[in-house]
């Protein structure tokens, strides 16, 4: 690649990495750029994993720097997602086509509608009881056995999707961890970057094994994603849940419209 193309990838990576940590959908920006630069679908998909791994590794350090970490739960959830991530990556090395975009667009719209409905329900209940919405706190909460079991089961499915196409997996993780386990969005982002790092490492091995990784553009993108991952982790903690939710909803809507209109 030409130097300007590598610089472009680094710049795109900063934006994508920040967006990925705050809400998700950064790969919907980086993947089309890789394709535009001449990579076919599976190679773009595999090359993008280099940046995703670097971004989430940096974000883990960023959350740790802010005092947010729960290694036991993060690792448990990541291991639940790992088998699906490997299986999805194997499928991702073989499947091409615009069907990817259509499926993802429908998923994003569904998640947006569901999250909006859930938030409306919570606000309605809070207004009736004159109590603050419990989801606004960033205090750690004790999870029930049911929440833990259902959360881990949901991660198996999310891991498969993440290994398969990656783009938009952050939205699915946020939906699973928020709606199923009831975690606040700051801690969801904290767990999300760890989970994605684990199954992305496995997916990267699969894509590299199949010869679908170009390391030079992948590393150029990774530099940007790493910077963005750190920025996103700091903003996530400093701005809190309300701001993250606004970014999440806006990103969901924009990405879904873009995918379905393509």
What integer pLDDT is reported at residue 139 of this predicted model? 54
Residue partners of 128: CB distance under 8 A and separation at least 6? none
Maximum distance among all Cα pairs of the chain, rounded to whole angstroms: 61
> Mean pLDDT, to the nearest integer, of 138-161?
82
Smallest CA-to-CA distance from 24 within 226, 162, 213 is with: 162
Binned at pLDDT 50, 70 and 90, residue 133 comes out as: very low
What integer pLDDT is reported at residue 183 of this predicted model? 82
> Mean pLDDT, to the nearest integer, of 209-222?
94
CA distance 89 to 110: 24
DSSP for 39-99 reads --HHHHHHHHHHHHHHHHHHHHHHHHHTT---HHHHHHHHHHHHHHHHHHHHHHTT--STH
- Top mean-pLDDT range of 30-39, 73-82, 122-131: 73-82
Extract the tokens encoding 164.
Answer: 């398969």
Binned at pLDDT 50, 70 and 90, residue 250 comes out as: confident
Q: Chain-centre distance of CA 211, in angstroms?
A: 24
- CA quadruple 240, 243, 246, 248: dihedral positive or negative? negative
What integer pLDDT is reported at residue 136 of this predicted model? 46
> Ramachandran region of residue 211, left (φ > 0), alpha (ψ -120 to 50) or beta?
left
Binned at pLDDT 50, 70 and 90, residue 65 comes out as: confident
What integer pLDDT is reported at residue 194 of this predicted model? 92
**Residue owning tokens 């809190």:** 240
Q: Per the confidence metrics, is the pTM higher than 0.85?
A: no
- Top mean-pLDDT range of 56-60, 87-91, 92-96: 87-91
Is residue 60 within 8 Å of residue 237, measured between CB atoms?
Answer: no
Q: pLDDT tens for residues 103-124?
A: 666 766 776 776 677 667 767 7
Domain boundaries, the chain: 3-261
What integer pLDDT is reported at residue 49 of this predicted model? 92
Extract the tokens encoding 193.
Answer: 């970057």
* Residue, of 207 and 128, whose pLDDT is higher: 207
Share of the chain above pLDDT 90, in %: 27
Q: Chain-centre distance of CA 82, in angstroms?
A: 15
What integer pLDDT is reported at residue 68 of this predicted model? 79
Q: pLDDT tens for residues 24-58?
A: 777 777 887 888 888 887 888 899 999 999 888 88
């Amino acid at each position: 690649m030409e130097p300007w193309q590598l610089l472009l990838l680094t710049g795109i990576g900063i934006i994508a990495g920040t967006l990925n940590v705050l809400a998700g959908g950064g790969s919907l920006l980086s993947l089309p750029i890789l394709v535009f630069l001449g990579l076919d679908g599976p190679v773009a998909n595999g090359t993008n994993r280099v940046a995703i791994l670097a971004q989430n590794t940096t974000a883990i350090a960023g959350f740790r720097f802010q005092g947010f970490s729960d290694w036991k739960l993060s690792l448990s959830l990541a291991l639940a997602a790992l088998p699906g991530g490997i299986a999805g990556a194997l499928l991702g090395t073989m499947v091409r086509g615009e069907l990817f975009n259509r499926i993802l667009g429908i998923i994003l719209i569904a998640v947006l509608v569901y999250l909006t409905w859930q938030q409306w329900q919570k606000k309605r209940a809070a207004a009736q009881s004159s109590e603050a919405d419990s989801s606004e706190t960033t205090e750690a909460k004790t999870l029930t056995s049911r929440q833990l079991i259902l959360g881990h089961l949901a991660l198996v499915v999310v891991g498969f999707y993440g290994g398969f196409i990656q783009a938009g997996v952050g939205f699915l993780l946020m939906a699973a961890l928020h709606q199923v386990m009831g975690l606040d969005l700051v801690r969801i982002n904290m767990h999300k970057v760890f989970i994605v790092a684990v199954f992305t490492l496995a997916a990267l091995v699969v894509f590299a094994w199949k010869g679908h990784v170009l390391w030079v553009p992948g590393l150029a993108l990774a530099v940007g994603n790493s910077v963005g991952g750190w920025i996103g982790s700091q903003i996530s903690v400093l701005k809190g849940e309300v701001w993250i939710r606004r970014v999440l909803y806006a990103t969901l809507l924009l990405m879904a419209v873009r995918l379905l209109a393509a």
